[in-house]
Structure 1
Amino acid sequence: MAVEVWIAAGLVVLTIGLWATAKLPEYLVALLFFAAAAMLNLAPPEVLFSGFASAAFWLVLSGFVLGVAIRKVGLADRIARSLASRLTGSWPRLVGGVVALAYALAFVMPSNMGRIALLMPIVLALAERAGLGEGSRGRTALALAVGFGTFQLSASILPANVPNLVMAGAAESAYGIHLSYLPYLVLHAPILGVLKGLALVACLCLLFPAKPQEVLPAEPDKPLSPAEKRLGMLLLATLALWISDGLHGISPAWIGLCAACVCLLPRIGFLSGDEFATGVNIRTCIYVAGILGLTALVGYSGLGALMGAWLIQVLPLEPGSPTRSFAALVALTSALNFSVTANGVPALFTPLAQSLADASGLPLLTVLMVQVIGYATPLLPYQASPIVVAMGMGQVRAKDGIRLCLALAAITWMVLVPLDYGWFKLLGMIPG
């Protein structure tokens, strides 16, 4: 290995280590990475700062803008009032309703953090209405339903999850592969969305049994305000364009950016300049750019090819055994989750995908898609920052989050991964 590769490897390990241990804020680690890589001349600026030109960066930014607008116009409060009487009849219905809401919202709000910031106050207020007070098992379950439903299920929707965006940006820059909204949804939603959602509801009901009080229907809501109507129409139009991106060829990122611009327009929009400055989480946007820059450095420096060669020798990848190769790739992404967390898995895995595809005999696109199963199934809460944020907002004890993580991971490995293999094969993603 050349000296430059050793230096790049050291910087990558240090950066990922700081992100994994949270010793410094994630945005500061990203800025330190940019500064160190630029000062050491490890790659040209267009490589290091390619994250700022990626679709992922702009989709995260637009997601935050849409989330702030939804809260401001009052759609969040309207949803909370309408849910109370419909969901509090039984415990499975209440838990299932919250999980379904978290999943449904992922179709219109691309940001995990934005959805959690929107949903958690609604769900905690719903828990209070149902008699599930602070510290109760029921309140804990509903808070976990928001966190796990928001992060894990949204992995099945391309623009709704930061790791998805990192993977899409890295695949585009490394291999010229452009992922489309609808094919991605068809591949992942049946297993990682619907079936995993049902497994999540079952785990929550069994691990945290509760008896919510029934809430009587409230007085009818006031008619939608003009701002709510305009924003609702904008969200519907945005979703329609996201779903049909295979027809018109416009990236979901640019669709989201246009919607965000409409939200910021004077008179027509919903947010002022001050509200944009205080409500949009620029820290996370810089973090995403940093991850993509790190991915680009891994590929440019040759570090990815070297790591791929080593992994090929260690993993049981065989061209004639797609089942074993599929399981080994899922295991690899699950193992990477421990050290680099969910956001870092696609940054490290995607540059290795071509080498892994050559060794396993699986198509490159299949190898790229397999990683979704691994990073969408954290074994411990710290591996997914949205879950950690949700647990903090809901005052959930660490051991409760760990119990749910392990239970859901066990179901995923024993039931959902084999089903996913069969679904991949049925769709022609696995030859033979």
Structure 2
Amino acid sequence: MPCVGGTRSCSVPPSTYKGDRMIRERLNVPVAVMAIVVVAAGLIVFNPPGWLPEGTALTTAIALITIGLYATGFIAEAMTSLVFFLAAMLFAIAPADVVFSGFSSSAFWIIFGGLIIGMSIRHTGLGQQIADRLIARLPGRYSALIAGTVTVGLLFAFLMPGAMGRMVLLVPIAVAVADRAGFGEAANGRIAVVLAAIFGTHVGSFAILPSNTPNVVWSGAMASVHGLEVGYMEYLAWHFPVLGILRSVLLVVVLVYAFPDRLGPRTETPAGAPPLDRDQRLTAFVLLGALAMWASDAVHGVGPAWVALAAALVYLLNAPRLVPARPFAALDMGPLLLLAGILGLGAVLAYTGIGEAAFKQLLPMLPFEPGEGARNYALVSLGGTALAVLTAMPGVPAIGVPLGDTLATATGWPVESVLTILAASYSTYLLPYQAPPILIGAQLGQIPYRALVRFTLGFALLSIILIFPLHYLWLRIIGVLAG
């Protein structure tokens, strides 16, 4: 039975309750969706469309089923990754170094390091100490708590270049804040606080050039393909007022209304919060050192992944003070397998050219017309959003930027102008699997998968309806897009 009165005291142990809840959610997932996906995959194998690259019908079928499993949560996300790895190798759809490329990616090691950092924050009680201080400074209103969490996440997007690193740093603190705010295990407030940290630091980061991978891919492709160098402040001016600020405001409003709740009785803390003990100070010192290294990577050149790994080693070498005595036994492998699977799937799709072939097939069918600014914006932005379903986020700029000349001819806009629109596309994901940082953050914060899917889809649709038109108008006002 659920917790009563917003407290953590339950007649059923929390772990048992969460397990039962997850089982009910898995059983409630519409089986019809996966049945349709399997039938469609079978049709592709036995009657492949003519536009598919030769010999990729089976690859497309495996990718479609994998995407269906990730999107519906029909089985656990980590299990879906294992299913994909097994099918990819049994049917030899791509070389092993492509299929398992996720394990060698820097993102994998950011998550590994981040999991250890989060483990130390929980083990030493540092997260609770930080939460106490944050709660003491926030107004006693639910909406203010959500707005404050989103704001902190957005500020961190300026400080830390990697979305994965921000997730593993902010989510454990958000969970501790939810505890201190009096939200029970299944409370709307707990879900909203954690989602505010996850989406708050991810959504706004698409308006800040070096803050996540798709932005960097877009910038690099613009320079290598078209010889166009885009500056930090220029990119910020194009996107931050709408995709950064206004969409963050929308995020707060949606969270407050989608997950209504009230602040419960906060956990009592001694007056004037106690000082950090020795282990908490050491944990905080290493964490601040990692944060400083992340924020200054352009100066020293050490990648965020290796900063995270170095911090993790410091914690591991100080077991059992900073982490449990058997840290690897306590390590949750689920987020690591999930990330490796999603990155591997993206690599296979890129290797076989399926996503690019689908987009090129669609492009001539779109009714572009020079002088029709609103229509052209809608077609580019929505086309990129649809492409992200097949390629995940970084695939949109990787495929879309090389098509800049074609899009420029079709719309009548300069290459730089038309490709600026892609930021709206790759910052809008319909389902969580398209954005690995979102999935990782949700797993770290133990967000129910169905709640995550519903919120992600709902927020994406609201962004398309409300934010896309405002983004188009802003680009018109500042002269990036002509009428």
What's the TM-score, normalizing by structure 1?
0.73
Q: Which of 203, 225, 235 is the aligned partner of 1:155?
A: 203
Please state how far the C-alpha of 1:258 moved relative to its aligned partner.
2.0
Q: Choose between structure 1 and 2 for higher RCO, CA contacts under 8 A separated by at least 6 residues.
A: 1
Contact 2:98 2:347 in 1 (8 A): yes
Please state how far the C-alpha of 1:324 moved relative to its aligned partner.
4.5
The answer on 1:63 being equivalent to 2:114 is yes
The aligned residue for residue 14 of structure 2 is none
The answer on 1:360 being equivalent to 2:415 is no
How many Å separate the matches in 2 of 1:59 and 1:113? 9
The aligned residue for residue 192 of structure 2 is 144
Q: Relative to structure 2, which stretch is displaced further, 250-259 or 191-200?
A: 191-200
How many Å separate the matches in 1 of 2:196 and 2:189? 10
Q: Which of 248, 271, 279 is the aligned partner of 1:219?
A: 271
How many Å separate the matches in 1 of 2:76 and 2:455? 27
Q: Relative to structure 2, which stretch is displaced further, 202-211 or 270-279?
A: 202-211
The answer on 1:24 being equivalent to 2:75 is yes
> Where do residues 242-281 of structure 1 align in structure 2 (5 Å cutoff)?
242-266=294-318, 270-272=322-324, 274-279=326-331, 281=332
Contact 2:174 2:194 in 1 (8 A): yes
Contact 1:144 1:401 in 2 (8 A): no
The aligned residue for residue 372 of structure 1 is 426
Please state how far the C-alpha of 1:237 moved relative to its aligned partner.
2.3
How many Å separate the matches in 2 of 1:239 and 1:185? 24
The aligned residue for residue 87 of structure 2 is 36
What's the TM-score, normalizing by structure 2?
0.66
The aligned residue for residue 45 of structure 1 is 96
Task: Return closer, same or farther for 1:386/1:291 CA change in 2, 3 Å cut-off.
Answer: closer
> SS state of the match for residue 110, structure 1?
helix
The aligned residue for residue 333 of structure 2 is 282
Contact 2:174 2:197 in 1 (8 A): no
> SS state of the match for residue 155, structure 1?
helix
Contact 2:101 2:347 in 1 (8 A): yes
**Aligned AA for 1:9?**
T
> Where do residues 7-406 of structure 1 align in structure 2 (5 Å cutoff)?
7-101=58-152, 103=154, 110=165, 112=167, 115-127=170-182, 140-141=188-189, 143-157=191-205, 186=236, 191-204=242-255, 218-266=270-318, 270-272=322-324, 274-279=326-331, 281-316=332-367, 324-335=375-386, 345-346=392-393, 349=396, 352-354=399-401, 356-361=403-408, 362-363=415-416, 366=420, 369-375=423-429, 385=439, 406=458
Contact 2:188 2:261 in 1 (8 A): no
**Aligned AA for 2:347?**
A
How many Å separate the matches in 2 of 1:32 and 1:134? 30
How many Å separate the matches in 2 of 1:369 and 1:353? 11
How many Å separate the matches in 2 of 1:255 and 1:431? 44
Residue by residue over 1:28-50, the C-alpha shift from the partner in whole angstroms, topping out at 9 and shown as x without a partner, is 22222222222322222222222
How many Å separate the matches in 2 of 1:66 and 1:207? 31
Task: Return closer, same or farther for 1:377/1:17 CA change in 2, 3 Å cut-off.
Answer: closer
> SS state of the match for residue 181, structure 2?
helix
How many Å separate the matches in 2 of 1:48 and 1:66? 28
How many Å separate the matches in 1 of 2:80 and 2:290? 33
Identity among equivalent pairs (%) = 28
**Aligned AA for 2:353?**
G
**Aligned AA for 1:146?**
V
Contact 1:47 1:297 in 2 (8 A): yes
Contact 1:47 1:293 in 2 (8 A): yes
Contact 2:217 2:397 in 1 (8 A): no
> SS state of the match for residue 392, structure 2?
helix
How many Å separate the matches in 2 of 1:390 and 1:51? 19
How many Å separate the matches in 2 of 1:328 and 1:370? 12
**Aligned AA for 2:188?**
T
Task: Return closer, same or farther for 1:287/1:368 CA change in 2, 3 Å cut-off.
Answer: farther
Contact 1:95 1:142 in 2 (8 A): no
How many Å separate the matches in 2 of 1:194 and 1:219? 36
Please state how far the C-alpha of 1:355 moved relative to its aligned partner.
5.2
Contact 2:118 2:168 in 1 (8 A): no
How many Å separate the matches in 2 of 1:431 and 1:255? 44
Task: Return closer, same or farther for 1:89/1:360 CA change in 2, 3 Å cut-off.
Answer: same
Please state how far the C-alpha of 1:367 moved relative to its aligned partner.
6.6
How many Å separate the matches in 1 of 2:315 and 2:54? 49
Q: Which runs of 5+ in 2 are unaligned?
A: 1-51, 409-414
Please state how far the C-alpha of 1:219 moved relative to its aligned partner.
0.8
Please state how far the C-alpha of 1:126 moved relative to its aligned partner.
0.9
> SS state of the match for residue 236, structure 1?
helix
Task: Return closer, same or farther for 1:19/1:221 CA change in 2, 3 Å cut-off.
Answer: same
**Aligned AA for 1:238?**
A
Contact 1:50 1:296 in 2 (8 A): yes
Larger Rg: 2
How many Å separate the matches in 1 of 2:172 and 2:405? 42
How many Å separate the matches in 1 of 2:60 and 2:116? 36
Q: Which runs of 5+ in 1 are unaligned?
A: none
